[in-house]
């Protein structure tokens, strides 16, 4: 029989998160205090995050131990399966071997609980009672709602307006796990009110929702804020995905030539690729790591490397990253989780140093890829995940053209069971590609008054 599914035992769940910073030839530049232009210290983050997470955020240690209780909760859905996409390979008639790591088996349906659980746990240890956050597609909000529920913490979610309106079931899932959900921009915060005054119909963006969640957390001593992507500690928590995948590829007797993951802020990309990228950096490995982003929010392929705020209102420290500018509001495409103006600091430095690659896809190509995947492999992918599938299919077609027997691994980072409205749009022939002109990008970047990086 031809193996399709490669499974690990609970005892194979990693004991440590692995920190790529230890292996990077050029370490990431420090975040800056916007008022002074000086690097921030840990105290700048203390109103928002527990001490242990701030330490992880600034850590250069290679290995960070996973707390036992967190590891125990991981067994609820981990280890996740690795699949060989034999039916997809057949449909593409490609000599390439295609593998995917499936993170949609988690309670929230994506990789996000891998970091939501430790984040909630560390906050609980510090006596925090309430956590605020933003959510785009609703995946992160669901994951944090689930995790907060486990530790009896109140969860307050600012959900980007377009998703709030188009995904009522994501909201209800969060409510079911006990969270409060508000459409963003909202009249509850100064940041939200300022935007609504200018544009009462604003579709919202992750940048705006982050400003609202930070503003609420900063106001009370027993509240903290949590972010589902971008920050170093979030990327770190996701490295259990790649560690498992390495073992599973070994069991399959193969090593990938190219690893692909969709890219919003970088967490699922980092999670799958970093443990392999460490092999490149430490042992001279040659695996290509490719980030797949939407053509309508192309910070990696068309943005600039510069200091910028992580949110729209300018409440975060300045981060050295690829960005389209913190005022950039992307078109309301269906992959809500990829509508973020910037990219994680670590991933940005790696791209700057050409140690990873990026590619942008229009959304129609992504949905075509997702539908072919659903019809062959059976799993309905999240619209974000379709971006990785689109890149994998391009790689497989290139292999077919050249007859090369390459090994492709991609991250199927979530299922699309709550995203069927977007499939309805596609199947009804109504899905459109959004052309983003250079003029629009130039306008968003012209507003930036943040420090440049030579």
Taking the C-alpha atoms of residue 166 and residue 296, their distance in angstroms, rounded to an integer, is 19
Q: Comparing C-alpha atoms, which of 100, 116, 259, 105 is closest to residue 174?
A: 116
Least distance between ligand PLP and beta carbon 170 (Å): 11
User: Is residue 310 part of the contact set for ligand PLP (CB under 6 A)?
Assistant: no
Instruction: State the binding string over 322-341 for ligand PLP (x if CB under 6 A, else -).
Output: ---------------xx---
Q: Which stretch binds ligand PLP (CB under 6 A): 42-50, 52-60, 132-140, 371-379?
A: 132-140
Q: Which stretch binds ligand PLP (CB under 6 A): 87-95, 179-187, 257-265, 273-281?
A: 257-265
User: Is residue 112 part of the contact set for ligand PLP (CB under 6 A)?
Assistant: yes
Q: How many residues bind ligand PLP (CB under 6 A)?
A: 21
Using the minimum distance from each CB to ligand PLP, give the nearer residue, 262 or 362. 262
Which of 50, 207, 256, 265 touches ligand PLP (CB under 6 A)?
265
Give 307's strand partners: 320
Question: Residue 330 CA to chain centroid, in angstroms?
Answer: 16
Least distance between ligand PLP and beta carbon 126 (Å): 24
386 close to 410: Cβ distance less than 8 angstroms: no
Which of 266, 275, 310, 342 touches ligand PLP (CB under 6 A)?
266
Buried b (16+ CB within 10 A) or exposed e, 170-200: bbebbeebebebbbbbbeebebbeebeeeee
User: Is residue 267 part of the contact set for ligand PLP (CB under 6 A)?
Assistant: yes
Q: Which stretch binds ligand PLP (CB under 6 A): 26-34, 134-142, 201-209, 397-405?
A: 134-142
Which residue's beta carbon is nearest to the bound ligand PLP?
A: 264
Using the minimum distance from each CB to ligand PLP, give the nearer residue, 28 or 414. 414
Which of 115, 132, 205, 268 touches ligand PLP (CB under 6 A)?
268
Any idea which residue has 């609970």 for tokens?
A: 10
User: Is residue 237 part of the contact set for ligand PLP (CB under 6 A)?
Assistant: no
Residue 240 tokens read as: 């259990």
> Which region, left, alpha or beta, applies to residue 372 given φ > 0 means left and ψ of -120 to 50 means alpha?
alpha
Q: What is the DSSP letter of 114?
A: H
Least distance between ligand PLP and beta carbon 346 (Å): 12
Least distance between ligand PLP and beta carbon 263 (Å): 5
Which of 74, 122, 140, 164 touches ligand PLP (CB under 6 A)?
140
Neighbours of 442 (CB within 10 A): 10
Q: Interaction with ligand PLP in 194-233: which residues (CB under 6 A)?
A: 229
Q: Comparing C-alpha atoms, which of 319, 317, 357 is closest to residue 341?
A: 319
Beta-sheet strand order (sheet of 223-225): 180-184, 154-160, 130-135, 223-225
For residue 290, report the phi and psi dihedrals to the nearest 5 degrees: -120, 125
Residue 146 tokens read as: 């689930």
Least distance between ligand PLP and beta carbon 122 (Å): 19
Q: Which stretch binds ligand PLP (CB under 6 A): 124-132, 264-272, 276-284, 320-328?
A: 264-272
Residue 169 tokens read as: 């079931």
Tell me the CA distances in angstroms from 258 to 6, 290, 300, 374, 400, one per residue in order.
19, 7, 18, 22, 15
Q: Which stretch binds ligand PLP (CB under 6 A): 251-259, 380-388, 420-428, 432-440?
A: 380-388
Strands (E), 312-402: 318-323, 357-361
Instruction: State the binding string over 393-432 for ligand PLP (x if CB under 6 A, else -).
Output: --------------------xx------------------
Site residues, ligand PLP (CB under 6 A): 110, 112, 137, 139-140, 229, 262-269, 337-338, 382, 384-385, 413-414
């Amino acid at each position: 029989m031809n193996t399709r599914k490669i499974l690990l035992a609970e005892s194979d769940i990693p004991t440590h998160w692995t920190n790529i910073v230890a292996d990077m030839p050029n370490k990431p530049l420090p975040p800056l205090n916007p008022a002074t232009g000086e690097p921030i210290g840990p105290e700048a983050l203390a109103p928002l995050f527990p001490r242990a997470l701030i330490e992880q955020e600034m850590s250069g240690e290679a290995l960070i131990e996973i707390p036992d209780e967190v590891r125990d909760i991981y067994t609820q859905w981990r280890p996740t399966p690795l699949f060989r996409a034999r039916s997809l390979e057949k449909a593409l008639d490609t000599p390439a071997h295609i593998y995917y790591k499936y993170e949609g088996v988690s309670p929230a349906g994506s990789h996000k609980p891998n970091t939501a659980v430790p984040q909630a746990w560390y906050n609980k240890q510090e006596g925090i009672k309430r956590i605020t956050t933003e959510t785009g597609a609703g995946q992160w909000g669901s994951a944090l709602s689930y995790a907060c529920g486990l530790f009896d913490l109140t969860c307050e979610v600012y959900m980007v307006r377009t998703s709030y309106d188009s995904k009522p079931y994501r909201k209800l899932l969060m409510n079911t796990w006990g969270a409060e959900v508000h459409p963003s921009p909202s009249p509850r915060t100064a940041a939200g009110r300022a935007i609504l005054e200018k544009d009462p119909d604003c579709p919202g963006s992750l940048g705006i929702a982050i400003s609202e969640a930070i503003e609420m957390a900063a106001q009370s001593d027993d509240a903290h804020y949590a972010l589902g992507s971008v920050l170093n500690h979030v990327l770190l928590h996701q490295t259990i995905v790649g560690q498992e995948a390495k073992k599973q590829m070994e069991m399959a007797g193969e090593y990938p030539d190219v690893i692909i993951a969709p890219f919003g802020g970088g967490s699922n990309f980092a999670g799958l690729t970093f443990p392999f990228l460490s092999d490149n950096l430490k042992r001279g490995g040659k695996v290509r790591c490719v980030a797949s982003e939407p053509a309508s929010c192309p910070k990696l392929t068309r943005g600039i490397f510069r200091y910028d705020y992580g949110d729209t209102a300018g409440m975060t420290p300045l981060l050295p990253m690829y960005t389209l500018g913190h005022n950039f509001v992307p078109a309301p495409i269906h992959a809500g989780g990829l509508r973020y103006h910037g990219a994680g600091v670590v991933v940005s430095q790696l791209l700057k140093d050409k140690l990873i690659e990026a590619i942008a896809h229009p959304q129609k190509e992504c949905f075509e890829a997702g539908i072919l995947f659903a019809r062959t492999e059976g799993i309905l992918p999240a619209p974000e995940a379709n971006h990785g599938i689109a890149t994998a299919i391009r790689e497989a077609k290139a292999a077919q053209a050249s007859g090369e027997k390459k090994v492709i691994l991609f991250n199927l980072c979530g299922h699309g069971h709550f995203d069927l409205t977007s499939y309805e749009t596609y199947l009804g022939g109504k899905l459109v590609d959004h052309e983003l002109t250079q003029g629009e990008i130039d306008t968003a970047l012209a507003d930036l008054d943040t420090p440049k990086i030579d």
